[in-house]
Structures are given as C-alpha cells and as structure tokens.
C-alpha cells in the first residue's frame, strides 16, 4: 500500500478526489486507516472562501479534522498503541515544550499543527500519520462516527469545564449546531439539571431534547431572554454558553447569566466587535471565558461517549463516501437548515 485516495481543496468550491502517496511514518507516529470524518463548519468555510481569518489556503490542502479510524502501522518509538486498535483522532498536535503546553493549555500552543488548518493537511483521505499520543483508543462497541464526534464534543466539554458547570446547575446553550448540541450533552455530563437550549431551527431544537435539554426555545417565535428568565425564576442561568457565533447571541449570553454567573463564548461572530454592557458584567461580577478548541478533553470525551451518555450518532443526518466528498461539502454548505452533521464514511 503506497497510494491512497484523498479529497483535496484547490480553491473555492474546487475539491478533487485524487491519488496521493500514503504518508511516511515518523518514529513517534502511527498510521491510521481513516473510517469516519465529520464535515465541520470550518471545512465548509475553507471550501467556500479559501480562508478563515488569518488562515489562508495557499496550496492544495486536504480538508477534515473530525476523524476516527483504525491503527494499521506504528512507528518504532510508539509504545502506547498496537496495530488493529480503534482510535479517536485528536486533530491538533502540539509542541509539548512551550509555556502553554507546560501549563496544560496546549490548545494555545503557537506551534500547533492542526488538521485541515493551513498549511496542514486534514483527514479526508484513506490514511493519516499522527503522533501516537494524539490517538485515543476507543472500545469496540463505540462507533467510528462517535469517535469523530469526540472532536466537537471536546469543544463542549472544554466550555463546560472553563465555565465550572457543576451538579445542579442551570445552563443555557445558545445555538444548536453540532457543537451546541454536544455542549448540551457535556452540560448534562457535568451534572447540570436544567439545560435550556435555543436555536432558530425546529430540527435542532428537537435534537437538543434528544441530547438532554430540559427546555428548548425557538428564537424565531419567542423572546429567548424572557424565556430564560421565566425558566429560572427571574434569576438567570449559572452558565450561559454561546455557540451560535452571532452578535445577538453573544449579547444574550451576558444578559442571561445570573449575577455571579459564568459566560463561555465559543462561536465567532462575523463582526467580532460586540457592544457588551460593562455595567451588567462588572456589577454582576460575571466571569467571561473565551473558548478556543480544547485541551485534555479526549479521554473524557471517549469515556462519556462509550458510556452511552447520548446517542450522538443521531446527529449524523447525511452520510457520504470519500468519492462523494464534494457532495458532502455541498450538502453541509447549502442545507444548513436541513442537515446537522454530515459524515464521510470510508
């Protein structure tokens, strides 16, 4: 096996499935036969625009960073994995040496090599060489799709961890894309007993209930702020987690938190300047947390998903093969209301 198929992005709306060399292994890497890759909002963004902020696709790049697969070879220095092991792939390989890595906040590592973030290739391919300490074994009963969903789930876990969600808490999740829906699962895992979920799309609100939301509110039909206040006896929530990436939901997150509450900002609004009310924040002693990817979440994510905390495969609304990767990207791009997670299975 020296050649493999890969889906390569050449420019806006131009992806091609072609033959590439199977990557060579470094001593500390394992070769993974990719089995499932989720299409993420960032993949769609690169596919549509060729860039996200300061990250610009300057040469052909393989998309995809939410993946699970099977180990088919290990480098000579690898001791933690064996051929045949099924794994969830943590997509950001960090240096392990800088201040941020040493602090355990390796998501902030300036030298991170993150799959499908230029200039690094991603996982829409048959074989991936990854440093072995970023491959997390999954049990036999856990699906490769669930392994790939450990990636967006990790964002939700990281947000709940940063916001200190604890047993008995009330949490609002604003925005119910895959990250928002998996944040609902994370909040439940952290012991939140009241989880209020808001979105505009009925399909996502229904799914939020399946994932463990105790109350859902359609922002197109109701005033979400009023709804949250009613649900919390006028107090506000212990933690408000924003995943929609709009100005309105950022403002709402700060409004919806109780005095002394926490706010976690996950989504990136198109215009990052958001006019927060400083009085609300200072007078209410709100803690506001920025959330960038995640760190040290994969083992927890795998344990929780393997435990069956939620049937996360239900989030997969559309499935494609690698040869149909363009269709998968187009589905995610053009049917945001009708799709939740689009998956490529190999």
CA angle 24, 66, 62 (to 5 degrees): 50
> Binding to Zn ion (CB under 5 A): which residues in 27-66?
40
Between 178 and 261, name the residue whose CB sits nearer to Zn ion.
178
101 binds Zn ion (CB under 5 A): yes
Closest approach of Cβ 118 to Zn ion, in Å? Answer: 15
Output the smallest distance, CB 231 to Zn ion, in A.
Answer: 30
Q: What does the alpha-carbon distance between residue 299 and residue 167 come to, in Å, rounded to a whole number? A: 21
- 203, 220, 53, 135 alpha-carbon torsion, rounded to 10°: -30
Preceding omega of 315 cis (within 30 degrees of 0): no
Single out the segment in contact with Zn ion by CB under 5 A; choices: 92-100, 128-136, 247-255, 293-301. 92-100
Q: What are phi and psi of 24, to 5 degrees?
A: -80, 140
Binding mask 313-332 for Zn ion (x = CB under 5 A): --------------------
**Any contact of residue 301 with Zn ion (CB under 5 A)?**
no
Q: Please state the closest distance from residue 98 (CB atom) to Zn ion, in A.
A: 3
The residue assigned the tokens 């439940």 is 188
Under rule CB under 5 A, how many of the chain's residues touch Zn ion? Answer: 6
As a whole number of angstroms, the distance between CA 278 and CA 284 comes to 9
Beta carbon nearer to Zn ion, 116 or 237 = 116
Q: Which residues contact 226 (CB under 8 A, 6 or more apart)?
A: none
Q: Does position 73 bind Zn ion by CB under 5 A?
A: no
- If one asks whether residue 95 binds Zn ion (CB under 5 A), the answer comes out as yes
**Distance (Å, whole) CA 178 – CA 165:** 20
Instruction: Decide: is 109 part of the binding site for Zn ion (CB under 5 A).
Output: yes
Binding of Zn ion by 228 (CB under 5 A): no
The number of C-alpha atoms within 13 Å of 327 and in the hemisphere containing its C-beta is 10
Residue range at the interface with Zn ion (CB under 5 A); choices 105-113, 264-272, 296-304, 325-333: 105-113
Residues that bind Zn ion (CB under 5 A): 40, 94-95, 98, 101, 109
């Amino acid at each position: 096996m020296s050649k493999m198929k890969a889906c390569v992005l050449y420019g806006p709306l131009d992806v091609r499935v072609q033959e590439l060399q199977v990557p060579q292994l470094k001593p500390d890497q394992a070769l993974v036969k990719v089995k499932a890759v989720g299409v993420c909002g960032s993949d769609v963004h690169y596919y549509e625009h060729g860039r996200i902020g300061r990250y610009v696709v300057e040469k052909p790049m393989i998309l995809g960073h939410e993946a699970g697969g099977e180990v088919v070879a290990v480098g000579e220095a690898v001791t933690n994995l064996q051929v045949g092991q099924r794994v969830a792939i943590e997509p950001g390989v960090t240096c392990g040496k800088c201040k941020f890595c040493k602090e355990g906040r390796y998501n902030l590592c300036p030298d991170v090599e993150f799959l499908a973030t230029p200039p690094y290739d991603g996982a829409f391919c048959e074989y991936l060489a990854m440093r072995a300490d970023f491959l997390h074994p999954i049990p036999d009963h856990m699906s490769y799709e669930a392994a790939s969903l450990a990636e967006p789930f990790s964002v939700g876990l990281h947000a709940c961890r940063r916001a200190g969600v604890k047993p008995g808490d009330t949490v609002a999740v604003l925005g119910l894309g895959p990250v928002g829906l998996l944040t609902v699962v994370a909040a439940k895992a952290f012991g939140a007993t009241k989880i209020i979920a808001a979105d505009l799309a009925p399909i996502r609100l229904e799914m939020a209930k399946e994932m463990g939301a105790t109350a859902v509110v359609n922002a197109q039909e109701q005033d979400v702020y009023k709804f949250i206040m009613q649900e919390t006896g006028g107090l506000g929530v212990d933690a408000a987690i924003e995943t929609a990436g709009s100005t309105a939901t950022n403002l709402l997150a700060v409004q919806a938190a109780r005095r002394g509450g926490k706010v976690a900002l996950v989504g990136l609004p198109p215009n990052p300047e958001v006019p927060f009310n400083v009085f609300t924040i200072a007078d209410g002693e709100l803690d506001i947390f920025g959330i960038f990817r995640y760190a040290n979440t994969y083992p927890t994510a795998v344990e929780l998903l393997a435990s069956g905390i939620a049937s996360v495969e239900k989030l997969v609304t559309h499935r494609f093969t690698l040869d149909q990767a363009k269709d998968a990207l187009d589905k995610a791009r053009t049917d945001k209301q009708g799709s939740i997670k689009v998956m490529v299975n190999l």
